[in-house]
Structure 1
Amino acid sequence: MNALSINPVDAARKWNAELKLAKREDEKFIERGDKIVKRYRDDRAGWATSGKRFNILWSNIQTMIPALYGKTPRAEVARRWKDSDPVGRTASVILERCLQYEIDHYGDFDSSIRLAITDRLLPGRGVTWVRFEEKEQAMPTDASPGIEGGEAQITPMAYKYECTPVDYVFWKDFRYSPARSWDEVTWVARRVYMSRSEGIKRFGEDFKQVPLVHEPIGLDELQKNGVESEDLDDMKKAEVWEIWCKTSKMVYWVAQGHSKTLDIKDDPLGLDNFWPCPKPLFATQTTDTLVPVADFSLYKDQAEEIDMLTNRIGMLVEAVKVVGVYDANQPSVQRMLSEGANNTLIPVDTWAAFAEKGGLKGVVDFLPLESVLQALAQCYNAREQAKQVVYEITGLSDIIRGASMASETATAQQIKSQYASLRLRRLQTEVALFSSEILRTKAQIMCDFYSPRTLYEMSGIGGTQDAQYAEQAIMLLKSEPSRGFRIEVAADSLVEMDESTEKQNRLEFLTSVGTFMERVLPVAQQVPELAPLMGEMLMFGVRAFKGGRSMEAAFDSALAKLNEPKPPAEPQPDPEQMKMQAMTQVEQTKAQIEQAKLQTQGQIEQAKLQASLQIEQFKAGQAQNLEIMRQQAETERAEMKARIDAETKITIAQMTAQAAEKPAVSVQIEGENHLQKVGDEVKMMADQAANILSDQQNNISTLTFG
């Protein structure tokens, strides 16, 4: 059987009948639940009692909610067998991060669980519903050069938006097939209210024929006040039932008052348990029916007794006041009570008659309050006893409520807490299983319908040490049923945990690991063969700690390097042989030192001889150069002398020729000056030649003896 082969009219008729049968079985439950909700909200309409009341229901619910759901649960995905499986570990990290991202990013998970717990504690049934959404959305990419207007145009890129919302289902909007246990249920349904536009968008034009049977409260008054009918129609909604049939593995959508089904689909999610909702949070149940009995119904009589006592206490408190009677002939008595103030005297006209009657005692008498006060005290005691009975019925001890006697010992308080937590622990377990089942449903939808890219980017696994296993891990998540054999999904404790507890858990982990390594490292160094065993023992302990999972990859890497095969160690030689080898090496070293010493001395002598030969050769070369320079100097001196003699003769001849024209004294003076000048030049040239010879000799001496 498939969706196309089913007659929409027949299917609608069948499911409308099933829904009516389920509604008939829930009638008493719904009626009782409405009263309990009104009692919790302190709505006085519809209750027989009036006057003052003690809302113990509100007090108990406000005490139980934080005890059952102290904080938003965190997803826990771990390897089923806690063994060495890097691919399974990476798959667990990917799935856990994706679940935690949606828990943190969307508020539907937390709010739906809180509302379901409230319904569990009040009417007695809490329900949530998981669904899958996939939308095509445009994501802008980098700006590309545009043509129009000369501005850059942003090119949108379509991508899939995938998520698994968790919807809260109102306790009246949930129905199921009549059964004795949840395992016998064959179908579940939830009611959704849809406007005309929403229905047409979801089911098409056929939804125009669906009657809008749900009208909000106060619509009649708006119509009387002259609101247009079109506006009133927009406020009306249709009741659409989404029915999941486990027998046929199909989903049906039926609208109340419509003769045909709106839609029929084969199993759209393919979940292991088929239902898109976990088992509801039920209150007290028996084995003959699934219809729960609210907790308040079990102590309703005691709550009414407390209300009666509270109302009576209020009346007695109003009666505790000063009232009485007085003699009408003495109006001053009335003035004393109405006008009297501190240090004020009221005059009396007939004092003698007033005193004769006994004064105030004779003219006034007050209502006695002793009996009223005694009755008030008894009412207070009776109410406290009635409250204790309620606490015994509900299991709320004074430890849970934060009250205790100073005289009680710590052991007595601990015993109370343990006994009180027996029933509370059962409720906490139910809520934890409820949350875990929601997470398992979300996880299966993620694995089956999310794209690998979405899983990779949402988890951020690329920035971890396990990035190398990401592809294999995603393949494992996509494979069914292999992933169920290797990983499991759960929720952590829902009880409030403060930061000090978290720090204590981490310190406990570090202390345990540090103590273990401190003890086994010396053993592993002495006996390297035990190192692999010590490593497995360490990982056995690390995997047991929740905080150790994030460090497990680092531990695996360190142990892998530690267990790498090392080259075999060389055998230890014989001590005597080592001694002989050492002595032989010493003798060889001495001989090498002596040989090196002789070679060094020979090299030194040879260097000295070569230096002496080089000095002698240099001296001979310098002497030869000096002789050449001396000869050159002598030659230059002779040439200079000849030049000077020639110039002198020329000068003398010139002077002789001039002598005939000038006086003798002038000629003599000029001759003497000229001879003086020539003599100075000759002296200067001689000094230069002497300096050159002296410098040459100094250079020779320096090279010879330096």
Structure 2
Amino acid sequence: MANETVSTAEFETEKDAGSGDAGLVKLWLAAIDLSSREEESWRKEAETTVKTFRNGDSRRNGAIEREQEFNILYSNIETLAPAIYNSTPIPDVRTRYDKNDPVAKEAGDFIERCLSYDLDVDEFDPNMEAAVQDSELVGRGVTRVRYVPYISGDKETGEKLAWEEVPSEHVPWANFRRGPARCWYDVPWIAFELFLTRDQILKLSPKLGGQVNLDYSSTDDAEKQSQDSQPPEIFKRARVWEIWDKEKREVIFIATGYKDAPLLVEKDPLGLTQFFPIPRPLMSVQTSDTLVPIPPYRMYKAQAEELSSITVRINALIKMLKVRGVRDGQITEFDAVADAEDGDLVPMEDATALYSQAGGLEKAIWLMPIDMVQTTLQGLYIQREQVKQVIYEITGISDILRGASDPNETLGAQNIKAQFGSQRIQKKQKEAARYARDLLRIKAELIANKFQPQTLLMMTGIKLPSAEEKQMVLQRIQQEQMKAQQTGQPPQIPDEAQEVLDKPTFEEVLQLLRSDVQRQYRIDVESDSTIRADLARSQENMSMFLQGTAQYIQATAPAVQANIISKKAAVVIYSSFARNYKLGKSAEDALATLEDDAAKSEGQPDPAQQAQEQAQQAEQQKMKAEVDKMNLQASLDKQSKEMDMEMKRQEHDLQMEKMRADMEFREQELAFKERELQMKERASLLDAAIHQRTATINAEATEHKARLGMETVEHKAKMARQPQKEDA
């Protein structure tokens, strides 16, 4: 990001900035500059952290500089981010309090279907993943929601709304500013840094767009270029601040390259209750005294650097682990020995001269010792693992999350470890779910306030009668009733007519959607979990619910049949019990219907008939209990036999597996013994050859010595005879 060009002036009051549009621009640029300076140290730290995560991305001469030999930051982010958010949330919109509120129910269905369609076409998952990564990497993730209408036609032929949507958009951490506050709900303004082309500037402000200086270049070496060689305009952008002023509820667009007036001022373009088009930012580390983010990497940066330093030392020592040494240069056979295969013997010349020297052949070679290097490496590897464990404790990455577990543990033990290992990350998962829910609520509010009726009908496919249609059906029913009174026959009211009367009109639903107060009071927008691992817990929860339902029915059925408790009371108690399992909207609707049916069927039967029915029911219950008992016993016997057969089969499989393992072990043992015997035989042959060679050399030496001795005697005898010849 290029250096800031805004003014750094500070003002005692707003009047010090000057009056008019120029003063307004000057005031806001100063406010943004103060906000930048408040978070300046964090931004520098964030840039360093991102560079570390990317393992260095500063380029010199076209090459990427390496930063970390052991990038534990990348490993931790890639482990934590998918654990925090890995599943698209499903919208869950329902009536907040009164279950018998058909208007609120239909309005909730409209919003829920619109949100469901929007999540299918929107880049929601990538934006959520980017926000989670920013939160875990630099400390703050921001996502905004836009309202985008698509207009067809032109001014001459007539413009009309063709389609509309509410897409989400990731906001880079470096391009976001906020006003001074300690709590998010006290933030007076937020600002987004935009880089717009000339065409975009003209579209934003046709009047002033041509006067804006394009003061930002997208080329990497823009700062190195002189004034005489400016980059072409296709690579240049205008830095524009989009400021959302919560106090005045207006949006101001200010370009740093044009300080005479704002480019555009809009009055509350979205009409949101909280005004800002973003939810409370996703922050990994939070304190109550400031909104300045904290990169989580700060908590274990020293350990990460120590880990990298240890890795550098390990790599340096590994380079020293080479078999190196010196040899006697006069022995030419060393090259042949280096290329020889196993068991090859290379003949050597002048071996006698070598053996006559002190020490023999082994003294002609010296190898550099590497034992101390190996010992140091082992210590460094141990130290590196200890530093990694310290980092895992600081970050909350447990062994179970990395797949490290004992295969001999029971399923219950592993579940306990999984729950304990995820305790520290559950807070992050809950915050990510809150963030996703708040995004859905902003989308829902924009859909309710901005979407046209035809868009709602096309997007949801819900068919509701209009007020005029409902009035026509009501008049038809009144006519049928009057006709029935005249003829004395019951009125013929079609089922479709009654269904139309039971439904609310589309005008009533639209009126509720357009009312912020009524909508918030009567409709609740939620979402299910954003963690895929919760599916297993949901399945386990459903299994427990079914078991509890069976037990409840078995316990209360006799009491209901004996008229000890009413059917309505039993259903109400069951509904209260079932809602503790959080079964979802559809299940709760079914429970509400069950309560209504029980209330309608509640009556006061004749005591004698009730007694007779109770006796019959008791007899039927007794017979059913006997049949159920027999069936249960048969089922238990069948299950017992199947379990016995399964256990025998598993035992047989285990025995066969053990036999196969024993045979493989014996085969390996025989192969090892055969190999060992071959090695011993080769060693014996080598020893025999050496012994024979030594004996041959010794015999030749003895023979040579004897021959020298005989030559010496003969020489002495010859010398002794020479004087005698001279005397003669």
Q: Structure 2-normalised TM-score?
A: 0.68
Contact 2:151–2:159, Cα closer than 8 Å, also in 1: no
Is 349-358 or 386-395 further displaced after alignment? 349-358
Structure number with larger C-alpha Rg: 1
> Where do 1:46-57 residues align within 5 Å?
53-57=69-73
> Where do 1:178-189 residues align within 5 Å?
178-189=180-191
The 1:273/1:43 distance shift into structure 2, 3 A limit, reads same
Structure 2 residue aligned with 1:703 = none
Residue 488, structure 1, aligned to residue 524, structure 2: yes
Report the Cα offset of residue 95 of structure 1.
1.7
Report the Cα offset of residue 425 of structure 1.
1.3
What per-residue deviation string (whole Å, max 9, x for no partner) do you get for residues 115-146 of structure 1?
Answer: 111111112111011121223337xxxxxxxx
Q: CA RMSD in A?
A: 3.7
Contact 1:90–1:470, Cα closer than 8 Å, also in 2: no
The 1:156/1:385 distance shift into structure 2, 3 A limit, reads same
- The one-letter code of the counterpart of 1:484 is Q
For structure 1, the residue ranges without an aligned partner over 5 or more in a row are: 1-5, 139-154, 574-706
Report the Cα offset of residue 261 of structure 1.
0.6
Structure 1 residue aligned with 2:218 = 216
Structure 1 residue aligned with 2:475 = none
The 1:186/1:51 distance shift into structure 2, 3 A limit, reads closer
Give 2:147's match in structure 1, choosing from 129, 132, 154.
132
Report the Cα offset of residue 282 of structure 1.
2.0
Structure 2 residue aligned with 1:454 = 455
In structure 2, how many angstroms separate the alpha carbons of the residues matched to 1:221 and 1:12? 26
Give 2:81's match in structure 1, choosing from 51, 65, 72.
65
The 1:558/1:391 distance shift into structure 2, 3 A limit, reads closer
- The one-letter code of the counterpart of 2:234 is D
> Where do 1:362-511 residues align within 5 Å?
362-406=363-407, 413-414=414-415, 416-462=417-463, 468-469=503-504, 471=506, 472-497=508-533
In structure 1, how many angstroms separate the alpha carbons of the residues matched to 2:104 and 2:571? 20
Is 411-420 or 34-43 further displaced after alignment? 411-420
> Where do 1:652-667 residues align within 5 Å?
none
Give 1:25's match in structure 2, choosing from 38, 45, 61.
38
- The one-letter code of the counterpart of 2:132 is I
- The one-letter code of the counterpart of 2:112 is E
In structure 2, how many angstroms separate the alpha carbons of the residues matched to 1:510 and 1:452? 42
- Tell me, what secondary structure is at the counterpart of 2:293? strand
- Tell me, what secondary structure is at the counterpart of 1:205? coil
Give 1:196's match in structure 2, choosing from 189, 194, 198.
198
In structure 2, how many angstroms separate the alpha carbons of the residues matched to 1:256 and 1:44? 28
In structure 1, how many angstroms separate the alpha carbons of the residues matched to 2:535 and 2:602? 45
In structure 2, how many angstroms separate the alpha carbons of the residues matched to 1:463 and 1:553? 19
> Where do 1:310-321 residues align within 5 Å?
310-321=311-322
Give 1:111's match in structure 2, choosing from 117, 126, 140.
126
Contact 1:203–1:262, Cα closer than 8 Å, also in 2: yes
Structure 2 residue aligned with 1:581 = none
- The one-letter code of the counterpart of 1:18 is A
In structure 1, how many angstroms separate the alpha carbons of the residues matched to 2:606 and 2:346? 123
Contact 1:206–1:262, Cα closer than 8 Å, also in 2: yes
Contact 2:204–2:263, Cα closer than 8 Å, also in 1: no
Residue 206, structure 1, aligned to residue 208, structure 2: yes
In structure 2, how many angstroms separate the alpha carbons of the residues matched to 1:89 and 1:36? 48
What per-residue deviation string (whole Å, max 9, x for no partner) do you get for residues 233-269 of structure 1?
Answer: 1231111111111222222111112111111122222
Report the Cα offset of residue 77 of structure 1.
1.9
> Where do 1:463-612 residues align within 5 Å?
468-469=503-504, 471=506, 472-497=508-533, 516=552, 520=556, 523-524=559-560, 526-527=562-563, 530-541=566-577, 547=583, 549-550=585-586, 553=589, 556=592, 559-560=595-596, 562-564=598-600
Structure 1 residue aligned with 2:308 = 307
Is 275-284 or 186-195 further displaced after alignment? 275-284
What per-residue deviation string (whole Å, max 9, x for no partner) do you get for residues 167-187 of structure 1?
Answer: 110000000123333233211
Contact 1:132–1:164, Cα closer than 8 Å, also in 2: yes
Is 547-556 or 158-167 further displaced after alignment? 547-556
- Tell me, what secondary structure is at the counterpart of 1:290? coil
Contact 2:144–2:171, Cα closer than 8 Å, also in 1: yes
Residue 247, structure 1, aligned to residue 263, structure 2: no
- Tell me, what secondary structure is at the counterpart of 1:271? coil
Give 1:175's match in structure 2, choosing from 174, 177, 194.
177
Contact 1:181–1:287, Cα closer than 8 Å, also in 2: yes
Contact 2:140–2:281, Cα closer than 8 Å, also in 1: yes
- The one-letter code of the counterpart of 1:194 is L
Give 2:164's match in structure 1, choosing from 162, 165, 168.
162
Give 2:54's match in structure 1, choosing from 29, 41, 52.
41
Residue 16, structure 1, aligned to residue 29, structure 2: yes
Over the matched positions of the two proteins, sequence identity in percent amounts to 33
In structure 1, how many angstroms separate the alpha carbons of the residues matched to 2:362 and 2:67? 38
In structure 1, how many angstroms separate the alpha carbons of the residues matched to 2:401 and 2:82? 11
Structure 2 residue aligned with 1:237 = 237
The 1:388/1:565 distance shift into structure 2, 3 A limit, reads closer
Q: Structure 1-normalised TM-score?
A: 0.70
What per-residue deviation string (whole Å, max 9, x for no partner) do you get for residues 76-99 of structure 1?
Answer: 223333744444333323222211
The 1:53/1:121 distance shift into structure 2, 3 A limit, reads same
In structure 2, how many angstroms separate the alpha carbons of the residues matched to 1:300 and 1:215? 34
- The one-letter code of the counterpart of 1:106 is D
- The one-letter code of the counterpart of 1:392 is E
- The one-letter code of the counterpart of 2:272 is L
- The one-letter code of the counterpart of 2:284 is A
In structure 1, how many angstroms separate the alpha carbons of the residues matched to 2:564 and 2:375? 85
Is 310-319 or 60-69 further displaced after alignment? 310-319
In structure 2, how many angstroms separate the alpha carbons of the residues matched to 1:561 and 1:215? 70
Contact 1:542–1:548, Cα closer than 8 Å, also in 2: no
- Tell me, what secondary structure is at the counterpart of 1:116? helix
Contact 2:92–2:528, Cα closer than 8 Å, also in 1: yes
In structure 1, how many angstroms separate the alpha carbons of the residues matched to 2:548 and 2:453? 38
Report the Cα offset of residue 342 of structure 1.
3.5
Contact 1:542–1:549, Cα closer than 8 Å, also in 2: no
Structure 1 residue aligned with 2:283 = 282
Report the Cα offset of residue 515 of structure 1.
5.7
Length, aligned pairs only: 548
In structure 1, how many angstroms separate the alpha carbons of the residues matched to 2:382 and 2:30? 54
- The one-letter code of the counterpart of 2:84 is L
What per-residue deviation string (whole Å, max 9, x for no partner) do you get for residues 498-548 of structure 1?
Answer: 876666555655665566556656655553982333343344455555555
- Tell me, what secondary structure is at the counterpart of 1:292? coil
What per-residue deviation string (whole Å, max 9, x for no partner) do you get for residues 259-293 of structure 1?
Answer: 11111122222322221111112233444432222
The 1:319/1:82 distance shift into structure 2, 3 A limit, reads farther
